[in-house]
């Protein structure tokens, strides 16, 4: 026994080479001489995985022996990206492996490039979850991700005549060396059925959930290694499989059921990630997914707890569950059902345990993103949970009425059930009532939550509300994505920043050091060359690395205002072609991002940008100063290439709409200057780097509110009074960018002028154009620009997800590192 426990794999070059050959021959059955690049990827990954498992067992022993409190991060999305490079980086084995493979004639970079991203998320929310897993493992916090093992991840994006085309992402087609299935820990999840209103022996009401159908949830574990390799946590993703019973005809009860018959078969549950964020469509399969996932998670969490403890009263001392938005909020009802129905706990005790266990994070203020489920749909899918939600609500409203007798308006506004033609369950209310903590993801966002989105709840429980400004992991977003910058930083201030990003502050001492600034800009230049090559291979646009790389990369949404960026480009183009004014600073405008397949305006914006690119890039004069490139299929691995090569980071959402943003942090950390509105974490970035090192423009939240409430936003005035605005908009109605398809973009003219522009593009346009002139002036003075770059990098320390996680651990979870 002792011998096995002490077993250690060697990390010398020879040992690594031996391990790769061993896996090629004996795990994969491949002859070394005939191995394909994919075979090599597998062999290398399995060799790395062996090393992870050693630490995984060690970590689990440490946690069990310590009887530690565990954190479960429940999220419908985990945008992990590629695993191999990140694991090598965190194990500090990258260089050894690289040389070991080089000696064998294998290029590690090429091996990594041949693999798909794990794209189990849409954008910010999913990537935040991935950064959090990295930070928890790095800090030695016993934290587990729980989610769905979608067979198809986020769709792949292609452009066809400038329009977005979606193709499916069959990322598991060739297997996945990083996933270990655990069929022995599969769990059974009941769905559908009805409630029998029975009584127990004492005559008390004792409802029974009957005639349900079972689905099996099979866990797949992905090891998550922290930097330095001491801790390996896991991300547990569930796949749905049918149970024998499930195939029985079940939808035979009325028209509604008939209509959805065959639509849901158990394998479909984990088939595909819903690709639309910020829009709650209320689809049956989505509700089924949400329930399936939380039911698996709760069973699993309870099982783990019961392996070490037997008294549920200490559950909140041993378990914290964090809800990543409302998508997993049914976990609250499921946990209550588990405690009351399966463990026979009295309601009050169960409720107190539940409340002390859960925390809820809100990630968006947009009303169309807020989840509400029709009561009828819930009754169909999870009848027992609906009953429990009603009981939670009854008790909650009773308490409200006691405290504020007669305040009907308050009762209606905080109720978990929205009355109306179709009664709906408000998932954010369920999440808030069932949690001891509610947090926003940036200071401004939390203030808006408290005072505008949820003022009644804030009045009820001011202490529940708290802010946790987002962060990003410096391991993936600096050390791995930008090795040139990382080694320069390490050379100057040592490598302490990798674990403690605030140490970057020490770089400020070099802000005046010409030699350092030169080297810094040489790193940027090399990254821009790499990016230029990528833009050529992926977007077929030749760009000049000496030009200013101006980047807008994120999901396409009206509130993020890609359209405002487009207006700026059109303005520049018209100045060159009509006024004969040539910009002093040539620019390369880079766009990247996907539109939800059903979001028509967002898809039109993509087409518009591609059309602008076609016209601008072909114009003999304009192309000397401007290039426009839309890089297709934005994903984690592409972000890792784009962000280090950016000079300018566009964070131009309408004030009060972007909860936080995390791309803004990644760009600043990688030495891009930000042009941004007073929105989300931009404000905190400004406070950290200093007002003089960032380009802030446009209306702030109060200004936007005044426009909205005062009804004095008249875009026509702006159009009539500002000739450059008029000219830009006329270009859209005049078919300048769609000569072959007249009228294609006239909607933009109408959209922005006829009062349907809820994101106030024209209100911010003039200050946006002005600040861009300031950007140009600054860029011309290379030394000054470089100084700003240093100030940015040096002051992004607070935006490490390590800081964020330590705050969650301290304020919400009550856990500490178990090292």
Binding site for ligand 26W (CB under 6 A): 122-125, 128, 277-280, 325, 363-364, 369, 371, 441, 470, 658-662, 680
**573 contacts 619 by C-beta, under 8 angstroms:** yes
363 is catalytic: yes
Query: What contacts 275, CB < 8 A, 6 or more positions away?
Result: 122, 154, 155, 166, 594, 596, 597
Q: Which is nearer to ligand 26W, 41 or 465 (CB)?
A: 465
Beta strand ranges found along 90-203 (DSSP E): 118-120, 143-148, 156-160, 163-167, 180-181, 187-191, 194-199
The values of phi and psi at residue 742, to 5°, are -55, 140
Nearer to ligand 26W, 20 or 441 (CB): 441
Alpha-carbon gap, residue 738 to 792, rounded angstroms: 40
3-state DSSP call for residue 600? helix
Q: Which of 231, 234, 662, 804 is catalytic?
A: 662
In the bound state with ligand 26W, the residue whose beta carbon lies nearer, of 41 and 278, is: 278
Q: How far is the CB of 371 from ligand 26W (least distance, A)?
A: 6
Q: Which of 126, 146, 435, 182 is nearest to 301 (CA)?
A: 146
Distance (Å) of CA 751 to CA 456, 716, 745: 34, 12, 10
Point out the catalytic residue in the list 426, 524, 554, 803: 554
Tell me the closest approach of the beta carbon of residue 685 to ligand 26W, in angstroms: 12
**Shortest Cβ distance from residue 297 to ligand 26W (Å)?**
18
Q: Known catalytic residue: 555?
A: yes
Q: Please, which residue, 369 or 443, has the CB nearer to ligand 26W?
A: 369
Residues 6+ apart with CB under 8 A from 540: none
Cα torsion 701, 702, 708, 709 to 10°: value is 150
Other C-beta atoms closer than 10 Å to the C-beta of 234 total 22
CB of 142 to ligand 26W, least distance (A): 23
Residues 6+ away with beta carbon under 8 Å from 700: 655, 677, 678
Q: Which is nearer to ligand 26W, 279 or 747 (CB)?
A: 279
525: its two tokens: 């230049």
Residue tagged active-site, from 666, 751, 788, 803: 666
The nearest distance, CB 128 to ligand 26W, in angstroms, is 4
- 385 given a catalytic annotation: no
Of 446 and 527, which has the nearer Cβ to ligand 26W? 446
* Phi, psi torsion values for 596, nearest 5 degrees: -60, 140
Question: Which of the residues 94, 236, 528, 560 is marked catalytic?
Answer: 560
- CA separation (Å) from 771 to 382, 478, 604, 677? 53, 28, 27, 11
Known catalytic residue at 554: yes
Residue closer to ligand 26W by CB (options 251, 559) is 559
Q: How far is the CB of 508 from ligand 26W (least distance, A)?
A: 27
Q: What ranges in 358-511 are assigned the alpha helix state H? A: 375-381, 383-403, 408-414, 427-433, 443-448, 455-460, 474, 483-493
Residue showing the smallest CB distance to ligand 26W in the complex: 124
Residue whose CB is less far from ligand 26W, 28 or 369: 369
Decide if 467 contacts 442 (C-beta within 8 A). Answer: yes
Who's near 180: CB < 8 A, 6+ residues apart? 220, 221, 222
Catalytic residue among 55, 82, 337, 363: 363
- Which of 157, 265, 99, 177 is closest to 630 using CA atoms? 157
Integer Cα distance of 424 and 389 in angstroms = 11
Between helix 37-66 and helix 13-22 the angle, nearest 10°, is: 110
The one catalytic residue in 30, 555, 594, 635 is: 555
Question: C-beta of 557: minimal distance to ligand 26W in Å?
Answer: 8
At its nearest, how many Å lie between ligand 26W and the CB of residue 127? 8
Give catalytic residue positions. Answer: 363, 554-555, 560, 662, 666
């Amino acid at each position: 026994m002792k011998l096995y426990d002490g077993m250690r794999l060697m990390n010398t070059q020879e040992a690594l080479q031996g391990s790769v050959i061993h896996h090629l021959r004996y795990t994969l059955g491949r002859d070394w001489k005939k191995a394909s690049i994919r075979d090599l990827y597998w062999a290398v990954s399995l060799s790395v995985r062996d090393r992870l498992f050693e630490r995984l067992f060690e970590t689990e022993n440490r946690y069990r022996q310590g009887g530690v409190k565990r954190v479960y991060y429940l999220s419908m999305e985990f945008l992990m990206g590629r695993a191999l490079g990140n694991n090598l980086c965190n194990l500090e084995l990258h260089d050894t492996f690289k040389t070991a493979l080089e000696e064998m004639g294998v290029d590690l970079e090429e091996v990594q490039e041949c693999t798909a991203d794990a794209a189990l998320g849409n954008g910010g929310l999913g990537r935040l979850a991935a950064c959090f897993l990295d930070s928890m493992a790095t800090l030695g916090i016993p934290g587990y991700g729980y989610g769905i093992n979608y067979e198809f991840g986020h769709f792949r994006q292609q452009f066809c005549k400038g329009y977005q085309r979606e193709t499916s992402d069959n990322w598991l087609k060739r297997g996945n060396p990083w996933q270990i299935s655990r069929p022995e820990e599969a769990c059974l999840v009941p769905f559908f059925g009805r409630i029998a209103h029975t009584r127990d022996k004492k005559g008390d009401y004792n409802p029974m959930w009957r005639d349900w159908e079972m689905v099996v949830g099979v866990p797949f574990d992905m090891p998550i290694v922290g930097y330095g390799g001491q801790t390996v946590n896991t991300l547990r993703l569930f796949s749905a499989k049918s149970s024998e019973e499930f195939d029985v005809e079940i939808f035979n009860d009325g028209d509604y059921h008939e209509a959805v018959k065959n639509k849901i078969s158990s394998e479909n549950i984990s088939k595909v990630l819903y690709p639309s964020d910020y829009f709650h469509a209320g689809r049956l399969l989505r509700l089924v997914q949400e329930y399936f996932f939380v039911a698996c998670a709760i069973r699993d969490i309870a099982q783990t707890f019961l392996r070490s403890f037997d008294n549920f009263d200490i559950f909140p001392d041993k378990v914290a569950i964090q809800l990543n938005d409302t998508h997993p909020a049914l976990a609250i009802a499921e946990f209550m059902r588990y405690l009351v129905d399966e463990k026979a706990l009295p309601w009050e005790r169960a409720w107190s345990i539940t409340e002390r266990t859960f925390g809820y994070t809100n990630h968006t203020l947009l009303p169309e993103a807020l989840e509400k489920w029709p009561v009828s749909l819930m009754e169909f899918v999870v009848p027992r949970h609906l009953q429990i939600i009603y009981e939670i609500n009854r008790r909650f409203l009773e308490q409200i009425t006691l405290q504020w007798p007669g305040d009907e308006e308050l009762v209606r506004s905080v109720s978990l059930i929205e009355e109306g033609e179709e009664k709906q369950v408000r998932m954010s209310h369920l999440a808030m009532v069932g949690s001891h903590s509610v947090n926003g993801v940036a200071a401004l966002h939390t203030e808006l939550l408290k005072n505008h989105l949820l003022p009644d709840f804030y009045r009820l429980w001011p202490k529940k509300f708290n802010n946790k400004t987002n962060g990003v992991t410096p391991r993936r977003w600096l050390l791995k994505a930008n090795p040139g910058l990382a080694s320069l930083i390490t050379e100057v201030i040592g490598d302490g920043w990798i674990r403690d990003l605030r140490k970057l502050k020490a770089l400020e001492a070099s802000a005046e050091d010409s030699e350092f600034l030169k080297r810094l800009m040489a790193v940027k230049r090399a990254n821009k060359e790499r990016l230029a090559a990528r833009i050529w291979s992926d977007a077929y646009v030749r760009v000049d690395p000496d030009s200013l790389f101006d980047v807008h990369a994120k999901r396409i949404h009206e509130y993020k205002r890609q359209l405002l960026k487009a207006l700026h480009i059109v303005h520049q183009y018209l100045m060159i072609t009509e006024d004969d004014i040539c910009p002093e600073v040539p620019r390369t405008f880079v766009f990247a991002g996907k539109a939800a397949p059903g979001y028509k305006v967002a898809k039109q914006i993509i087409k518009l940008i591609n059309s602008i690119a076609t016209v601008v890039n072909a114009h003999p004069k304009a192309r000397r100063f401007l290039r426009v490139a839309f890089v297709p299929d934005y994903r984690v691995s592409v972000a890792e290439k784009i962000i280090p090569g950016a000079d300018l980071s566009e964070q131009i959402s309408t004030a009060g709409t972007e909860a936080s943003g995390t791309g803004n942090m990644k760009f600043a950390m990688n030495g891009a200057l930000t042009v941004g509105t007073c929105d989300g974490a931009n404000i905190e970035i400004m406070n950290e780097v200093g007002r003089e090192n960032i380009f802030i423009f446009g209306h702030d939240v109060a200004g936007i509110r005044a426009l909205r409430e005062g009804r004095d936003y008249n875009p026509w005035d702006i159009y009539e009074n500002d000739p450059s605005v008029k000219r830009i908009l006329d270009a859209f109605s005049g078919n300048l960018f769609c000569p072959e398809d007249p009228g294609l973009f006239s909607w933009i003219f109408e959209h922005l002028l006829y009062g349907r522009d809820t994101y106030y593009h024209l209100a911010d346009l003039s200050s946006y154009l002005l600040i861009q002139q300031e950007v140009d002036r600054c860029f011309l003075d290379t030394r000054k620009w470089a100084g700003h770059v240093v100030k940015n990098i040096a002051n992004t320390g607070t935006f490490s997800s390590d800081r964020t996680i330590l705050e969650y651990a301290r304020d919400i979870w009550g856990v500490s590192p178990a090292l």
